[in-house]
Structure 1
Amino acid sequence: MKKKIDVPIEESIRQKQIMDKLSVYIKGKKLKYHLSTFGCQMNAHDSEKLKGILEEIGYEATDQESDADFVIYNTCCVRENAELKVYGRLGSLKHNKKNNPNMLIALCGCMMQQDAVISKIKQTYRHVDILFGTHNLYKLAELIQTRLDTGKMVIDIWDNHKEIVEDLPSIRKFDFKASVNIMFGCNNFCTYCIVPYVRGRERSRKPEDILKEIQELVADGVVEITLLGQNVNSYGKSLDKPMSFAALIQAIEKIEGLKRIRFMTSHPKDLSDELIDVIRTSKKLSDHIHLPFQSGSTRLLQKMNRRYTKEQYLELVRKIKEANPNVALTTDIIVGFPGETEEDFEETLDVVRQVMFDNAFTFIYSKRTGTPAATMEGQVPEEVTKERFNRLCDLMNEVAAKRSGLKVGQVEDVLVEQVNRQDDSLVTGRISSNHIVHLKGTKVLIGKIVPVTIVENKTYYLLGESIQQA
């Protein structure tokens, strides 16, 4: 049964006490964990916290799922394919568990917030040990302890969550850049999207907690942070003392040692003139804004409950480009939304041509049970959708090549992230506009911001030459 629980202020202390207790049992046993993340950057950031808890109690990471004593899937339900992958992999884990009877399997994330999914797992995948959702991931150690104490499947799913538990351990992918949740949930209820139903209503973190976390990250060597939320532009509305997203960025910008600030995702209806002023004046805000438009048809935007028109979106883009002529705009686009006509689709192509996006996440509409769009009339035939999708991709490739081509000959600051996976004589990083750049170098450059001349355009990545010695 789902429940709603208000988490007390002392909850983070209680969870740390549980971790300390559990670590006495886990540490020294050389137990390994494997965590798979499906879905968005919010899920990826949640997984950093899950890793932090697991390693705090004594588990060691392994890249091989077959070697793991604890397997956890952080799931996504935005698209059906992600759910099918989870079910497929759960089936294969049954064999692993027979070979290692003490292995534990946990599922969390958006899929678990759906009653039908919980019912299916209870009936079909009884080898799963722990199920929890999006609101209580900080309870992982407690849930493990409960499973070890009872020997029974543990199900802990909450409908909603108002309090935010701070100061839990986290394992970052990079030492020099990090993501920071500034809010959770969503109030927009786009008709195709299940996120508000599984992540709950908007809840903003207190600005002092956000600033404290970023200050600690910078003290630990972080030079770039990405502010995360389903709709960062509506940050602060749920606070006792409301604070705008623009004001939060201005406060973050004052943190010494922080070099770059990124954010995602922005909802066009809430991107304010105040934020555009910050885009114009900020010295640390990156030259990149992700601004989903989903469809160029105002008629379809109304059916999607997006609450802006094609013309309003284009005017917003004009203001942003006027504020920062170097800005790179990326977007999300849905093809084949119910009722989409050829004329509607041509409106989408028109927006792409006018805006000249640097990149786009393009999606074929995926029907999600429980959303209003799933029962709408006029579901577009698959063959029509695929043909339109291919045309959109062809146009985006053309537009992206033109946009990235403008970088050739420019000197850009690259934050080097890693040794190139295909060629270890190269390193890979990103410039302020979020374009990926490959250049000659060694691992000593990782974490550094180096000036680079862009010498070649490969559409979705660039080649550069460092103008200083490694």
Structure 2
Amino acid sequence: MPVDHGVVPEQVVNAGIGLGSHARTLLRRCRSAPAGNYSGVMPSTPSRGSVALVTLGCTRNEVDSEELAGRLSAEGWTLVEDAADADVALVNTCGFVEQAKKDSIDTLLEAADLKESRRTKAVVAVGCLAERYGQTLADELPDADAVLGFDSYRDMSSHLTAILAGERPASHVPSDRRRLLPLSPVDRSAAADAVALPGHGDGEAFVRSRLGGGPWAPLKIASGCDRRCSFCAIPMFRGSFVSRRPTDVLAEARWLGEQGVSELFLVSENSTSYGKDLGDLGLLEKLLPELTAVPGVERVRVSYLQPAEVRPGLLAAMAETPGVMPWYDLSFQHCSETVLRRMRRFGGTEPFLDLIGRVRDRQPLAGVRSNVIVGFPGETEADVDELERFLTQARMDVVGVFGYSDEDGTEAESLGDKLPEHVVLERVERITGLVEELTAQRASERVGERVIVLVEDHDEDDEGVAIGRAEHQGPDVDGVCLVRTADGAVPAVGEFVEGEVVDSVGVDLVVDVR
């Protein structure tokens, strides 16, 4: 359960994988019609049918969906926004933690309901939940017409054609994807093309269709993870760490720039490992200046940094490269050394505070965010007190608080000293209350700062307010800037505006442009 930004609500407790009764209405959260297709293949005609991609989970899943969209578009499928208007609802599920699994199942059930009253003919599950559970998921959801794993992405068009013709493909058979590639990171790179790796192009010319026209976009730089955190199942279904080649990353970045994207959000399971399988652990530092030089790109933001792997050279490159945002997404998870060792992680209160201090020595106004897990097996009251001390001294801008829950197949699942659910809930509430107070204080301390805001939307309740993000704010879950102008003219989406922070509301900032 390596907690990740933009994945699930900030309070997660034991929920179980069983069918949920409160489905989230996500079927109309498909983004707007494709804004462009990155492919050397022209779509065939006539259309094979229509498909709507429904994406749950993190930004890495968004990239996977856009790769699927590119493949399907190139094969002659018509992409539509609303699942109710599609022949096929293709649901890209999340298998991250129990609440995310429940949301995925509920969404698949909602999609299946469309077959009763709408034009939708088939519902297909893909993504992490499908990869992780395969036939088990198919057994729980007989109304789903197929459950397909990552290996099916290369030929998704043929699968969907067969499904619409009345066939039911065999459900995916899960396996530990860490075993698909060599143990040696450098040897792994040469073998990666033989394995289906979403977001890597699978050894072919990369294909991607944007499913939205916003001014920022995720750009995947790697897949998988080599760390063995005791609570985390992601390496089992995402596989070993594999970097994308810099030439592929840059080619896609240039294409995104041509599509009107001005902020690139670099995503992976562990960005600090980028390049190790290519023989150069300093490759990210070299890649950043090339990405910021891409025409049209004004901002580059790096997500998911493992504190134990953050190198002085990387900190220097992030601080000194113009266009790289002063935003540090540091995966602490806890601060008690006892708890961290049981998690199979490194660090502690003092090393983590030192890392934050080194960031702020270079960039005093940098944004720092993280996530923490409370209620881990064996966690004591003293460990929680230590976490409170760390959070109080760290004064981060955003902290996601998660309650521990067992993940199938992980080492932590078999650990003793499990805490009762009510104790986990109490600790989640305790730490969440502290975090809300601390992050609100941190936001209020920014009053008087000058910020440059990328406008992303307009306030539906106040026509005179634009919504965007300052340099220290990451997308989706890090708070926003509410922008007001002296003359009442609302800046356009995609515009950069400079203003002064005049107030804060929780973690959100009110910015006046004068």
Paired with 1:238 and 1:294, the residues of 2 have a C-alpha distance of 26
Residue 334, structure 1, aligned to residue 373, structure 2: yes
- 1:348-376: per-residue Cα shift (whole Å, max 9, x none)? 11110111010111111121111111111
- 1:25-61: per-residue Cα shift (whole Å, max 9, x none)? 436xxx4x43332222211222233334445533242
Paired with 1:25 and 1:251, the residues of 2 have a C-alpha distance of 38
Q: Secondary structure at the match of 1:318?
A: helix
How is 1:284-433 mapped onto 2 (pairs within 5 angstroms)? 284-433=323-472
RMSD: 2.5
How is 1:52-451 mapped onto 2 (pairs within 5 angstroms)? 52-56=70-74, 57-63=76-82, 65-99=83-117, 103-114=121-132, 117-134=133-150, 137-148=153-164, 151-156=167-172, 159=177, 160=180, 162-163=192-193, 164-165=200-201, 166-239=205-278, 243-434=282-473, 435-440=479-484, 445-451=492-498
8 Å CA contact 2:456–2:467 kept in 1: the answer is yes
Code of the aligned partner of 1:438:
L
Code of the aligned partner of 1:121:
L
8 Å CA contact 2:138–2:171 kept in 1: the answer is no
Tell me the equivalent position of 1:5: none
Code of the aligned partner of 2:430:
R
The alpha-carbon deviation at position 141 of structure 1 amounts to 2.0
Give structure 1 stretches of 5+ with no counterpart. Answer: 1-14
Q: 1:219 to 1:89 in 2, by over 3 A?
A: closer
Q: 1:97 to 1:190 in 2, by over 3 A?
A: same
Paired with 2:94 and 2:259, the residues of 1 have a C-alpha distance of 31
The alpha-carbon deviation at position 386 of structure 1 amounts to 1.5
- 1:295-334: per-residue Cα shift (whole Å, max 9, x none)? 1210110010112233222222221111211111000110
The alpha-carbon deviation at position 94 of structure 1 amounts to 4.0
Q: 1:102 to 1:431 in 2, by over 3 A?
A: closer
- 1:160-192: per-residue Cα shift (whole Å, max 9, x none)? 472231420221433422111000001112111
Code of the aligned partner of 2:169:
M
Q: 1:170 to 1:93 in 2, by over 3 A?
A: closer
Q: Percent identity?
A: 26
Residue 24, structure 1, aligned to residue 63, structure 2: no
Paired with 1:300 and 1:257, the residues of 2 have a C-alpha distance of 45
- 1:110-143: per-residue Cα shift (whole Å, max 9, x none)? 11222xx322333343332232234553532232
The alpha-carbon deviation at position 24 of structure 1 amounts to 2.4
* Worse-superposed segment, 443-452 or 333-342: 443-452
Tell me the equivalent position of 1:50: 68
Q: Secondary structure at the match of 2:276?
A: coil
Q: Which has the higher contact order (CA 8 A, sep 6+)?
A: 2
8 Å CA contact 1:269–1:307 kept in 2: the answer is yes
Paired with 1:186 and 1:229, the residues of 2 have a C-alpha distance of 9
Code of the aligned partner of 1:237:
K
8 Å CA contact 1:427–1:442 kept in 2: the answer is no
Q: TM-score, normalised by structure 1?
A: 0.87
Paired with 1:401 and 1:93, the residues of 2 have a C-alpha distance of 38
Residue 457, structure 1, aligned to residue 504, structure 2: yes
Give structure 2 stretches of 5+ with no counterpart. Answer: 1-38, 182-191, 194-199, 474-478
* Worse-superposed segment, 200-209 or 77-86: 77-86
Code of the aligned partner of 2:136:
K
Paired with 1:217 and 1:91, the residues of 2 have a C-alpha distance of 34
- 1:228-287: per-residue Cα shift (whole Å, max 9, x none)? 111100100111566522222133233344211101111111110101111331221112
* Worse-superposed segment, 85-94 or 366-375: 85-94
8 Å CA contact 2:265–2:300 kept in 1: the answer is yes
8 Å CA contact 1:178–1:224 kept in 2: the answer is yes
8 Å CA contact 1:37–1:75 kept in 2: the answer is yes
Paired with 1:245 and 1:99, the residues of 2 have a C-alpha distance of 50
The alpha-carbon deviation at position 86 of structure 1 amounts to 2.8
Residue 36, structure 1, aligned to residue 54, structure 2: yes
Q: TM-score, normalised by structure 2?
A: 0.80
- 1:8-37: per-residue Cα shift (whole Å, max 9, x none)? xxxxxxx976x845x52436xxx4x43332
The alpha-carbon deviation at position 103 of structure 1 amounts to 0.8
Paired with 2:361 and 2:151, the residues of 1 have a C-alpha distance of 40
Paired with 1:95 and 1:226, the residues of 2 have a C-alpha distance of 35
Code of the aligned partner of 1:224:
E
